[in-house]
Structure 1
């Protein structure tokens, strides 16, 4: 199986983009700014809006159908033994044309108990482009009592909520893990690659000023119950730095490959930065590759090379075998937990 170059898959959302994804891909700009995300190689649908979010292959099949028909060739026998015919990740390009609302994703325990899902939504961000003053909000900077949080949300006292969070500056190349349960908001002026557990579960702590009703933000549980998934504990500077630190022994895991994210991400997903020197080696695995700079070729064991350039997104099946990236190029490879 050959690596597959994908076209955009951009379901409509409730917040605005700024055209960065179209410019990154070299596509004509969209008239409607409310398409700020590209769901890459997705078998996850937008919550309450299926089939929006599901990826379609160039041959017209949905990726979900293709994997279900031949899971071991797509995902590999070890992955299928652990996860079945489920890639176990969702990858997106995300363009914050405005600050996203402060929100939270449930962890696996909460999702199993209340949402009938084996997955919560731990996620991580790899910053592709950022305005000079760009930042994310990540975790409360002090302990927050349940009644204080409920009062903020019920009264939409957004300035107080944001003031209680950590404002974390980001720049291109940064890699940040956001554990499930941690309140967060991506600031305006950022283009990033997001890798996450394969759900669309979001508890909105903020909704005023966005094209969304509050009822859409409590996971169908009501806010009294849904707020139970929020990590209200203090995330001090040391804990925040642990989410951003360079991985121990991450450099040079294979030729031209550095592994990203601290060990806290390992149970959920993995990501690598590929910089050929003079080539980069991709071991056999289902993965999504986002080319962020330059141009080159991706060679697989069983097919002709694929030309790649900045803005390309590719799906690499397990059956592509070992692949080699060549050229003056930088790419991000996202993959299930290893």
Structure 2
């Protein structure tokens, strides 16, 4: 094994990581703190970036995860991509993990926003990746936990431009599909789809590894329009918006209800998410094939066992990164976890 690894990292089959909550513009995160065992939580820490090699937009280090030996995970992956990601992944995606995982819970409704596609990001933001995402709802509070996804009806470009120019929050939010959510629900959010999450909705969020957001409803949330549009002019930024209406049939293809499924392995995401990321809910004794991955323990205690590395104890609130080189592993004990992975190297896009 390369000397790049410290003994602490190389001895483990999976590597437990602490909370990583870069400051955001909105409040939240009480459920993250509760999941991790209690204590005080950062007032502006509603997002926990788990095993992140992605920085916040325009920042050099904010958002990155540190390994136990003090290195940034990003730097460790860049130094030995095959060890962390596997040769097939590297051939397809280079030294990018092709994945960003977050825990997220807001005390307030998030502003309506959307994210660029791969093509737009390549043309305007110098990035291979846009920001398709998906939500795994793991908790809710309040009387009406909801999310908002896509326009109900087709909207003309001049109408969107007018709403944004006048910051007509009522019109923007009122034009979207309002979706009641409960734990076990999952929502796929294709790039370009305007969306928002209501207060008290606690999710695991899988994303492509960028921090690109076009914030349509920025007044009262962000300092100015420039920060809402990633420094682009308004017209260019609004090219990201999918203005097509999303009907019930399309919504049904994006949303899954998995709360009542009790198998050892429950695939969580809509079929359309497969080219971007994978997520399963695992319970009990489950085999894991070799892959870079992120594990978030929702309940119980147990361990992850590998053939070549040390057994690693896990419990409710543990978050861990798994390198490809750990090989085939097995979860054991009374654990309920969400296992997040990048797309398979052969996934069509």
Q: TM-score, normalised by structure 1?
A: 0.94
Match of 1:238 in 2: 249
Local SS of the residue matching 1:68: helix
1:101 paired to 2:111: yes
1:130 paired to 2:140: yes
Match of 1:119 in 2: 129
Q: Deviations over 1:275-300 (max 9, x none)?
A: 12xx1111100000000111111111
**Partner of residue 272 from structure 2, selected from 239, 264, 272:** 264
- Which deviates more from structure 2 when the two are superposed, residues 152-161 or residues 21-30? 21-30
Q: How many residues align?
A: 330
1:327 paired to 2:304: no
Contact persistence 1:291–1:308 (CA under 8 A): yes
Match of 2:4 in 1: none
CA–CA distance in 2 between the matches of 1:228 and 1:212?
A: 22
Q: Deviations over 1:87-111 (max 9, x none)?
A: 0110000011111000010111111
Local SS of the residue matching 2:205: strand
Match of 1:282 in 2: 288
CA–CA distance in 1 between the matches of 2:27 and 2:300?
A: 28
List runs of 5+ in structure 1 lacking aligned partners: none
**Partner of residue 184 from structure 1, selected from 195, 214, 230:** 195
Q: Deviations over 1:312-335 (max 9, x none)?
A: 100000011111111112100111
Match of 1:294 in 2: 300
Distance 1:134 1:27, change over 3 A: same
Match of 2:97 in 1: 87
Q: CA deviation at 1:251?
A: 9.3
Contact persistence 2:256–2:268 (CA under 8 A): no
Q: CA deviation at 1:74?
A: 0.6
Contact persistence 1:14–1:212 (CA under 8 A): no
**Partner of residue 69 from structure 1, selected from 79, 84, 96:** 79
Contact persistence 2:222–2:228 (CA under 8 A): no
Q: TM-score, normalised by structure 2?
A: 0.91
CA–CA distance in 2 between the matches of 1:243 and 1:40?
A: 24
Q: Deviations over 1:132-183 (max 9, x none)?
A: 4201000000110011101111101001111110000110111110000000
Local SS of the residue matching 1:137: strand
Match of 1:58 in 2: 68
List runs of 5+ in structure 2 lacking aligned partners: 1-9, 345-349
Alpha-carbon RMSD across the aligned residues, in angstroms, is 1.5
- Which deviates more from structure 2 when the two are superposed, residues 310-319 or residues 296-305? 296-305
Q: How is 1:135-214 mapped onto 2 (pairs within 5 angstroms)?
A: 135-214=146-225
